[in-house]
Amino acid sequence: MFHKNSFAFFRASEMRRPFLIAGLVALAAACGAQPAADPQSEMLLGTMHEELSRAQSSLSKSDPAPYYISYSVFDRQGVSISATEGSLLNSINNQQRWADVTMRVGAPSLDNTHGDSRDSGISGGILPLGNDRNAIARGLWLLTNGEYRQASSVYTNVKTQKAVQSEEEDKSADFTSEAPHQNVEVPGPPAPIHQKEWEAQMRSYSAAFKKYPYVYNSVASLSFDQVMQYVVTSEGTRLAEPGHSARLVLEAETRADDGMELLRVETFQAASPEQLPSAAEINTKIEKMASDLKALRAAPVADPYAGPAMLSGRAAAVFFHEVLGHRMEGHRQRGEEEGQTFTKKVNESILPSFLSVVDDPTLKELGGVKLAGNYAYDDEGVPAQPVEIIKDGILKNFLLSRMPITNFNHSNGHGRRSPGRMATGRQGNLIVISKNTVPEADLRKQFINEIKKQGKPFGLYFEDVEGGFTLTQRQMPQAFQVLPVIVWRVYADGRPDELVRGVDIVGTPIAALQRIELTSDKTDVFNGVCGAESGWVPVSAASPAMLFSEMEVQKKAHGRERPPILSPPGADTSSTSNGVQPHTGTMGSAR
């Protein structure tokens, strides 16, 4: 899916990733230790602390000795249900206890995680369920022994490479010093999992696509995770944090006569299944998805284009996540293979002066929309913090884990990962703020004026997107790609807008970010999951709609297989007249 630091991918749905942990939703850090009133938490934290202390005491006599050890345990109870054509594909109720042992050998100035050896700092595996302290301690002991062998061996190689290689440009240490935090949340009663009821609901949603014979593949999926994350470190951090996340995904596919596959995806995020939208709202969305696909099948294929463009708030949010957000992640500023697009531009202008960008994982919702990137502590035990990345167009800060970079010596609570991966600086809730706004209707008028000014027959309006990805390493083009699904030609002469298909937004970051002219006064949210070297993490991006003086698109790659010759079995063809009305400039709403 991606190559080391070079690739990051953001999309609305990613239902098939194991151990996808929702953002933590605990309260703010307490000032001192809080005894765990929950017996399960008491047992786990106590066992983790005892085994970590024993390992620390024993390994301190080794050469090389670890200077930092942490244990993380994820107690996960999850339900995953998928259905198609009114029938279940799967219905899984899974309980698992996963543990990660993180170990740093050497010293903070140089340890086994240096450079390309970062993955040597962690080993993970499954722990026994239940309350058998001896069984749990034995599992941690095995992971700790394996991790020490790995870390100590790699540390020897790191020192050798350091001695023979040329001096690195960024001479920062490998690990920051941070204050320990103690916050033990007592988990509430487990949310009820009405598995049979939700099986029936997924069957119903998936069956709704059956009356559209041109939708040849569709899936309705629900995942609900209840997680308790426990963290104990040799520095004294002790955390127990609960998290709940429900995610409903609708996917529908069709194929145009020229072989192009067309996809529509809708996602819905909440803390529990009961907080998801009503069945009536979901069925309305299904009708809209089918209507869009029918219109896209008949839409002409767009040609490569460079000219005025307007992005809806959702599309602009994904654009900023890919083009800017990943290049603000701290570890990308010191990697010798990284492009380091903005590393040396601190206190310089990189955006129009009317734009500011903040990443605030402490926000739980924005404009009534739940934010997927919310958490109270990052995955290195540091409290989440809002970070003002860009103020009035001027670069001010980066998103930092406990890997320091030049002039930024402390974490700001953005060390994130999925279980089994080493944490790196990652996005949480990326929010674009504008001082140059107009109502959405006026933004469209300015868009048409820009088309006329440039002498173009039309501009492109990107109403909705599926996701995107970006490349950040030096040996690859410093490029990005945003994957739109609903694109309109907006004509300067007043003709009705025309739906088109088959293009992706492409470009390079420095040029693309300077072409923003104006924004709307309404912010939309895109919730999704993002994959990079530290795994898949839930994220949100929020932005107003934007007018660009120029945007470039390229043709989307597609196969040449024709649509199915036979009609699908049992197709109901009595209700397939879902045409599409001419577009009138309404922006896509946040979902």
Regarding whether 151 and 118 lie in a shared domain, the answer is yes
Question: Is 564 among the domain residues?
Answer: no
Report how many domains make up the chain: 2
CA atoms within 13 A on the CB side of 33: 8
pLDDT of residue 340: 81
DSSP labels for 299-328?
SPBPPPEEEEEEE-HHHHHHHHHHHTGGGG
User: Full-prediction pTM beyond 0.75?
Assistant: yes
190 burial type by CB count under 10 A (0-12 exposed, 13-18 middle, 19+ buried): exposed
Regarding whether 330 and 276 lie in a shared domain, the answer is no
pLDDT of residue 469: 74
| 123 close to 116: Cβ distance less than 8 angstroms | no
Domain termination site, one of 276, 298, 320: 298
pLDDT of residue 17: 31
Regarding whether 282 and 425 lie in a shared domain, the answer is no
| 216 close to 568: Cβ distance less than 8 angstroms | yes
Question: Is 112 among the domain residues?
Answer: yes
Domain termination site, one of 298, 328, 351: 298
Regarding whether 360 and 220 lie in a shared domain, the answer is no
| 524 close to 312: Cβ distance less than 8 angstroms | yes
Pick out the chain residues at pLDDT < 50: 1-10, 13-36, 574-591
3-state DSSP assignment of residue 384 = coil
Domain termination site, one of 236, 269, 298: 298
pLDDT of residue 509: 87
DSSP labels for 146-207?
HHHHHHHHHHHHHHHHHHHSPPPS----SS------EEEPPP-PPPP--HHHHHHHHHHHHH
**Host domain of residue 500:** 305-555
Question: Is 250 among the domain residues?
Answer: yes
Question: Is 245 among the domain residues?
Answer: yes
Report the alpha-carbon distance of residue 412 to residue 425 in Å, rounded: 9
| 466 close to 292: Cβ distance less than 8 angstroms | no
User: Amino acid identity of 239?
Assistant: L
Question: Is 585 among the domain residues?
Answer: no
Question: Is 543 among the domain residues?
Answer: yes
Cα 467 from chain centroid? 10
| Alpha helices by DSSP H, 255-380 | 279-298, 313-323
| 406 close to 170: Cβ distance less than 8 angstroms | yes
Question: Is 23 among the domain residues?
Answer: no
Regarding whether 541 and 444 lie in a shared domain, the answer is yes
Regarding whether 191 and 54 lie in a shared domain, the answer is yes
Regarding whether 263 and 128 lie in a shared domain, the answer is yes
Question: Is 273 among the domain residues?
Answer: yes
- Helix %, strand %, coil % of the chain (to 5): 25, 35, 40
pLDDT of residue 555: 87
Report the alpha-carbon distance of residue 515 to residue 500 in Å, rounded: 23
Regarding whether 279 and 189 lie in a shared domain, the answer is yes
Tell me, what CATH number does 271's domain have? 3.30.2290.10
Regarding whether 279 and 408 lie in a shared domain, the answer is no
- The model's pLDDT over 82-134, given as tens digits with 9 standing for 90+, comes to 999 999 999 999 999 999 999 999 999 999 999 999 999 999 999 999 999 99
Report the alpha-carbon distance of residue 160 to residue 37 in Å, rounded: 49
Residues 6 or more apart whose CB falls under 8 angstroms from that of 60 comprise 66
Regarding whether 212 and 313 lie in a shared domain, the answer is no
Regarding whether 294 and 398 lie in a shared domain, the answer is no
| 46 close to 292: Cβ distance less than 8 angstroms | no
| 270 close to 276: Cβ distance less than 8 angstroms | yes
pLDDT of residue 474: 64
pLDDT of residue 24: 24
In 3D space, the residue among 454, 460, 463 whose CA is nearest the CA of residue 484 turns out to be 463
Regarding whether 229 and 267 lie in a shared domain, the answer is yes
Report the alpha-carbon distance of residue 184 to residue 242 in Å, rounded: 9
90 burial type by CB count under 10 A (0-12 exposed, 13-18 middle, 19+ buried): exposed
